[in-house]
Amino acid sequence: AESLFRQALEKRTNTLGPEHMDTLRSTHDLGAFYRERKRFDEAAALLERALMLDEKRLGPQHPYTFETLNTLATLKEDRNDRDGAVRLREIIFTRRSAFLDRMLWVTGENAREGYIRLHTPELHAYLALLPKLPPAVGGEKALQVSLERKGLLLRIASEVQQVVRLARDPALKQVSDDLTRARKDLAVLTLAGPTPETQGRHLDVIHEIEERITTLEGTLDRQATASAPPRRAAPVTLSDIAAALQAKAVLIDFYSYRADGEQKLLAAVMTKKGKKPVYTLIAYADLAGIEAAIKQYRDGIQDEDIEEGDLRADGQAAYTRIFDPLRTVIGTAKEVYIVPDGLLNITPFNALITEKGHYLIEDRDLHILSSVRDLVASALPPAKGSYLINAGPNYDLRNTDVKTVIETLERRRSVELEQRLRAFSSGMRGLKFSPLPGAEKEGQLIVERIKENKKSYKIYSTDAAEEEILKTIATPPEVLHIATHGFFLKADDSLRKRLLKMQRSSEIQVPPPGDNPLLRAGLAFAGINTNAQFLGEIDTENDGVLTALEVLGLNLEGTKLAVLSACETGLGEIHEGEGVYGLQRAFQEAGARSVINSLWEV
């Protein structure tokens, strides 16, 4: 093998020159071979030379540059050079964050997910080093990782939805189109390396495109502000987080990662000493035990036959596993902010049982955040719109706007047409929801309370409780309350059993849905029972299903509170480092500052 690696390097050097990208690749490959053979000095010499020329010729964010950095970092770990490895892993993390910002804007939903998964191992390699550092240093670095990476995919998806929305405005369309093209150009050049057109000034061309993108983003934001505030938020720093954290409060940010063939968990903690932030890092020894305790408690809560003593014992067991390692840093703090990860996203924290036998909500004021960024107050003013209530839709409504379309489709449906339907829609065909008179009454009771407080409101029930009410919001409501059926389709779950619990006599046939989890979580509105079999063929603007992906496009900037009074609105597909792909997060990304949702059937 060594002979062949050497031949490849020599031939490429002689034919292409010492600084051609293929020559640099061979330099890396021979260095990586030496590392595997534990010939560390020879490996270091080749890898350091490759890195210098990668950065000079290909730029800091080319895939070859990243590969050389990762191999060099692993070499330093092999040599027990902890500080050197951390320094390189931190460089990789910072550069990869910038790389992802370039790429995620110009790819589809599945490709974005692919990029994150592809580069997860290098992120986990960095996280695995942090518990080896002094706790204060490790805690600060772990919070920086969370700040930049947690929830990145949904944040990008939300901002992409904003750009799409702005592009519908003729005055903004040209700027939006120019921005999209510039982002694509930057992504292509980043991945390609020097081309015949950019040879000799490759990095200069990349810098020019970056400047063009910055200018276009500023233009789009300024022009958009005239009609609606832009959603692109200024970058949040750890200093901003520290300033936002109250003096006696505690911030706990969990991160799940893989190391040494096992899934592990750490918690980065921030407290305050006066105005100065104090960081620490807690590494958990038994994530499998924590997850088993969470599952047992969740199952117990949903078991109608469980004894009260057994349930409380399960709640205390889950509490002990999660909070015992944190007891010293939390102390007596009342205000506790938690950013969960993995299965912790669906943990009923408030219902955990403390060592004193209390529910945790009785001893602490818990705030569950999707990201540490949520701790920083929005720069946008609170919404001034009326309270908006959508409660108790008539699921059997036959909307006159789609009646003609449905009749036409009924006449000309064919196998060929069905094969062209959007994948996710087929997963919702056959959904049939029973009436919710209690939800309609819920809306009426809320109106009575609003009247007592002399607030303005709009309420939509029965036939009027349509999906398009939310999609055509002109002024964001101060409070949004939705009382209806909610659902989340698992990738391999038809929801038949779950829906049959609510509708004992219904015959429901639901084929497997598509693979985008944001299209598998939704709320039902007026007309869904009529439209269900035609989903994907009729216009999605008012088909009776509001998916989480559609929620990202709602105008809820500054809405103080969104109440999702429906089944399992806090559930979704759990993605480590991303949170839950579902309704709760979608409403937050759409602008709602707080969301009340349910982990259970209502």
More confident residue, 254 or 232: 254
pTM for the model stands at: 0.78
**pLDDT(13) > 70:** yes
Q: Residues 42, 49: contact at Cβ < 8 Å? A: no
Instruction: Please work out, in degrees rounded to the nearest 5, the angle formed at the alpha carbon of residue 376 by the alpha carbons of 367 and 332.
Output: 40
User: 135-144, 179-188, 365-374, 428-437 — which is least confidently predicted?
Assistant: 428-437
Report the pLDDT value the prediction gives residue 318, as an integer from 0 to 100: 96
Is the dihedral angle over the CA atoms 145, 216, 107, 534 positive or is it negative? positive
Q: What is the mean pLDDT of residues 379-401?
A: 83
Report the pLDDT value the prediction gives residue 417, as an integer from 0 to 100: 40
User: 164-178, 248-262, 503-517 — which is least confidently predicted?
Assistant: 503-517
Question: Which of 3-17, 182-196, 205-219, 395-409 reaches the highest mean pLDDT?
Answer: 3-17
User: What band does 384 get if pLDDT is binned at 50, 70 and 90?
Assistant: confident
**pLDDT(510) > 60:** no
Which whole-number Å values give the CA distances from 54 to 60, 62, 67, 234, 517, in the listed order? 7, 8, 10, 31, 38
Question: Which of 89-93, 174-178, 550-554, 556-560 reaches the highest mean pLDDT?
Answer: 89-93
Report the pLDDT value the prediction gives residue 403, as an integer from 0 to 100: 57
pLDDT tens-digit map of 432-475: 788 888 999 999 999 999 999 889 999 999 999 898 899 888 88
Q: Residues 253, 268: contact at Cβ < 8 Å? A: yes
Q: What is the mean pLDDT of residues 237-252?
A: 93
* CA distance linking residue 442 with residue 370, whole number of Å: 28
Q: Residues 532, 510: contact at Cβ < 8 Å? A: no
User: 77-86, 143-152, 374-383 — which is least confidently predicted?
Assistant: 374-383
**pLDDT(566) > 50:** yes
Rg of the chain over all Cα atoms, to the nearest angstrom: 27
Q: What is the mean pLDDT of residues 179-208?
A: 80
**pLDDT(501) > 60:** no
* CA distance linking residue 161 with residue 146, whole number of Å: 23
Query: Which helix H or strand E contains 403, and what residues bound it?
Result: helix 400-412
Report the pLDDT value the prediction gives residue 422, as an integer from 0 to 100: 38
Query: Which helix H or strand E contains 419, and what residues bound it?
Result: helix 415-419
